[in-house]
Amino acid sequence: MAINGVNEDIFYTPSKKPKVVSANYDNSQMSQSDFLKVLLADLQWQDPLQAENISDFIDNTVKLREMEVLDKFETSVNNFVSSIQSQSLFYASSFIGKTVEYEGNQTYVKDGKGYASFKLSEPASVVKVTVYDSSGNVVEEKVFNNLQADQEYPIEIDNPELPDGYYTVDVEAYNGDEKVDATVDSYAYVKEVKKEDDGKVYVVTDVSSIPLDKIVGIGG
């Protein structure tokens, strides 16, 4: 039927719509590309001469535009993240061959000398610091009394008989019978840097890989 001299068949052919996805497709798991296919097919088969379909047509056009904007935004974010990661790798390369201070309890000892420090989350009446070698043998022990929270307490290792390498610093703190949490900062010698599968950049030592956000200082 023609309306005002316009043949509606030009715009709409009432034939069977094509199948874009299978009948048992799980819409909750629909990917962005599949959603775009369905939306485009729906736009193609809209009847613009029906008021309800005109509204759907407008709504779907808006959705399509939103999809395009989101897709471009996601691409921009991914490119930005990739750029930041590349810059982080380049920045971390300056640590190679240097000693860094980091949040962790394995500290590097050279010529019998090594350093570490610890902080307490709460005041503690007794704090015991034990230093172990790579075989688990105790090489040094220290006991502190009545220490305050959020204050840095240094640990100095000075034993000419110790071979060069990494030693584990263990801190046990108690306020009466209640255990108090402690964080340890140690020193490590950086041999290389690399980006892992999680996208993060790490500095690599002889015994561990340290994420950049755990590094709190350089040198020492």
Q: pLDDT (tens digit, 9 = 90+) per residue, 36-90?
A: 676 666 656 655 555 455 566 556 656 666 766 666 666 655 554 555 555 666 6
H/E segment holding residue 77: helix 51-92
Contact 174, 180 (CB under 8 A): yes
From the list 208, 99, 113, 220, the residue with the least C-alpha distance to 162 is 113
Report pLDDT digits (tens) over 137-185. Answer: 999 999 999 999 999 999 999 999 999 999 999 999 999 999 999 999 9
* Residue 219: DSSP 8-state: -
Report pLDDT digits (tens) over 183-198. Answer: 999 999 999 988 887 7
Place of tokens 């993240």: 81
Q: Let me know how long the chain is.
A: 220
Q: Does residue 217 have a pLDDT over 90?
A: no
Domain ranges across the chain: 28-95, 96-218
Q: What is the pTM of this model?
A: 0.59
Q: How far apart are CA 79 and CA 109, in angstroms?
A: 41
pLDDT band at 91 (very low <50, low <70, confident <90, very high): confident
CATH code matching the domain that covers 96-218, chosen among 2.60.120.10, 2.60.40.4070, 2.60.40.1120, 1.10.1040.10: 2.60.40.4070
Place of tokens 């402690």: 182
pLDDT value, residue 8? 46
Q: How far apart are CA 95 and CA 194, in angstroms?
A: 12
Find the distance separating the first CA and the last CA of the chain, reported in whole Å: 88
Lookup: tokens for 39: 């939306």
* Residue 134: DSSP 8-state: T
